[in-house]
Structure 1
Amino acid sequence: MSQLSACSVYVFDAYGTLFDVHAAVRKHEQSLGPNAALLSEIWRNKQLEYSWVRSLMGKYRDFWTLTEEALDYAFAKVPDADMSKRTDLLDAYFALEAYPEVRSVLERLKAQGNELAILSNGSPDMLKAAVEGNGLTDLLDHVLSVDELRTYKTAEAVYELVGTVFRAFPEAVSFQSSNRWDIAGATAYGFRTVWINRTGQPDEYGDLSPAAQLKDLEGLLLL
């Protein structure tokens, strides 16, 4: 029997897992200049760094604010990028595009009788815009944001939100994320984890290994 076969609740990280965090910059890359990809990488890395640092300090700022601040830092690091595109980039990020396979995979998991949710660092308004913009509202039982806790992953309290809402033991939850650090946190909590390693990153956190590693969400249907 598959290690994931007993799971009846499927929980997904949002950014990088369901929604393409680099889609905003790609949409405007022609006008941003030759270092658009670098801008996007710095933006994403700083966004995450700010969430970890804020959690450690106990000085919460919502994820949208961190997203804005991270973009400003990225523009400072890539001065040849056209800063007049700041508003356009933020508008595009607020309602990011989903990866191509997302809706079909969620539809099939739902048809099998599973409960589905998002558990994300994203602020409620950001998540609402992305979910509605990609037509996923009808497939999700819950969209859970860290905002109510005023801290970020990988705090244990964040993962506890799932059990509280679904009244499920951790081992009944399959947790999917493209972020290896998120997978480590969810594994430590007790979820059965699936690392969606879209960009072929090397493994880390060897003591907190996922139950499976996939290149995209399609592989979930084969587990």
Structure 2
Amino acid sequence: MSIKTCIFDAYGTLFDVNAAARDAAREPGREALAEVWPGLARDWRLKQLQYTWLRAVAGRHCDFWQVTEDGLDWAMEAAGLDDADLRRRLLDLYRTLPAYPEVPAMLRGLTDRGVACAILSNGAPEMLEAAVASAGIGDRLSAVLSVERAGVFKPSPRVYDLVGEEFSTRAEEVLFVSSNGWDAAGAAGYGFRTVWVNRAGEPMDRLYAQPHHVLADLTAIGELI
């Protein structure tokens, strides 16, 4: 069966989650951050994701902005950074994360061929709206779907259900693309065709399903459709 819809995770897949810490570290007066920003960015992302999983298991849902703030607070404390102004700056930058360089051309290539493209993200609607507008890719997206409609974070099947509800497609007609191995595995277990964008060259997660394709970036997505 042919692919009719290409669904993308947002953070880490389309948008560069390391950019907030990296860009802030380059600003004058941020010498303390400049010394530790890679570790802070890594811890921030890890805690952000861990908190989504723990909240989903516990049935204690909140929106993604809350876990983004909570993850940053943990990462800043771990890095020995007690700076309210820096915290505000990092959060401001996170709202307008840049897209990875290959994203605009990749989306243009797909939509010019008649493939519907959309986002399915843990992100809160306001976060996603700001990021999409900042990256200038809104005209290439048929929908921006937030887990807030399901009230639980990925990889709950209730989140992946949103795709069929929005596009009236069968699972096997969807190509799902994520930079998170666990997300690509969850979507594969759900029944989507999946791509893991393994930018960091990490090992495959040992889970109940595995992604169908592994790529280093998004450049070759069109070749899979």
Q: Which runs of 4+ in 1 moved over 2 A?
A: 80-84
Residue 205 of structure 1 deviates from its aligned partner by 2.7
8 Å CA contact retained: 1:184, 1:205: no
Residue in 1 that maps onto 2:143: 142
Tell me the residue number matched to 2:180: 179
Task: Count the aligned residue pairs.
Answer: 219
Find the aligned partners of 1:83 and 1:33 in 2 and give their Cα distance. Answer: 16
Q: Which residue of 2 aligns with 1:196?
A: 197
Deviation string for 1:99-142 (max 9, x for gaps)? 00001000000001001100000000000000011111110000
SS in 2 for 1:27: helix
The answer on whether the counterparts of 1:171 and 1:192 sit within 8 Å (CA) in structure 2 is: yes
Cα displacement (A) at 1:221: 2.1
Question: Residue 214 of structure 1 corresponds to which residue in structure 2?
Answer: 215
The question of whether the paired residues in 2 share the 8 Å contact of 1:20 and 1:96 is answered with: yes
**Structure 1 residue 9 and structure 2 residue 5: aligned?**
yes
**What's the secondary structure of 1:126's corresponding residue?**
helix
CA distance in 2, matches of 1:164, 1:74: 37
* Contact preservation (8 Å) 1:176, 1:193: yes
1:31-79 CA distances to partner (integer Å, 9 max, x unpaired)? 1131111111110000000000000111111100110111111111110
Secondary structure in 1 aligned to 2:222?
Answer: helix
CA displacement at 1:148 relative to structure 2 = 1.7
Aligned to 1:21: 17
- TM (norm. structure 1) is 0.95
Amino acid at match of 1:35: V
Unaligned runs of 5+ residues in structure 2 are none
CA contact (8 A) 1:177 1:195 kept: yes
Does 2:111 match 1:132? no
Q: 1:9 offset after TM fit, Å?
A: 0.3
Structure-1 residue corresponding to 2:164: 163
Give the aligned residue type for 2:56: S
CA distance in 2, matches of 1:206, 1:60: 23
Alpha-carbon deviation of 1:95?
Answer: 1.2
SS in 1 for 2:35: coil
Question: 1:108 aligns to what?
Answer: 109
Distance in 2, matches of 1:196 and 1:138, equals: 23
Taking structure 2 as the reference length, the TM-score comes to 0.94
For the residues of structure 2 that align with 1:47 and 1:14, how far apart are their CA atoms?
Answer: 14
Alpha-carbon distance in 2 for matches of 1:108, 1:81: 45
Q: Distance in 2 between matches of 1:125 and 1:55?
A: 21
Taking the aligned partners of 2:83 and 2:19, their CA distance within structure 1 comes to 17
Q: Which ranges in structure 1 are unaligned for 5 or more consecutive residues?
A: none
Conservation of the 8 A alpha-carbon contact between 2:189 and 2:208: no
CA contact (8 A) 2:182 2:207 kept: no
What's the RMSD between the two structures over aligned residues? Answer: 1.3
Work out the CA distance in 2 between the residues paired with 1:172 and 1:11: 11
Corresponding residue number in structure 2 for 1:154: 155
Q: Counterpart of 1:62?
A: 63
* 1: CA distance, partners of 2:11 / 2:131: 10
Given that 2:164 and 2:171 are in contact with CA atoms closer than 8 Å, whether structure 1 keeps it comes out as yes
What's the CA shift for 1:82?
4.8
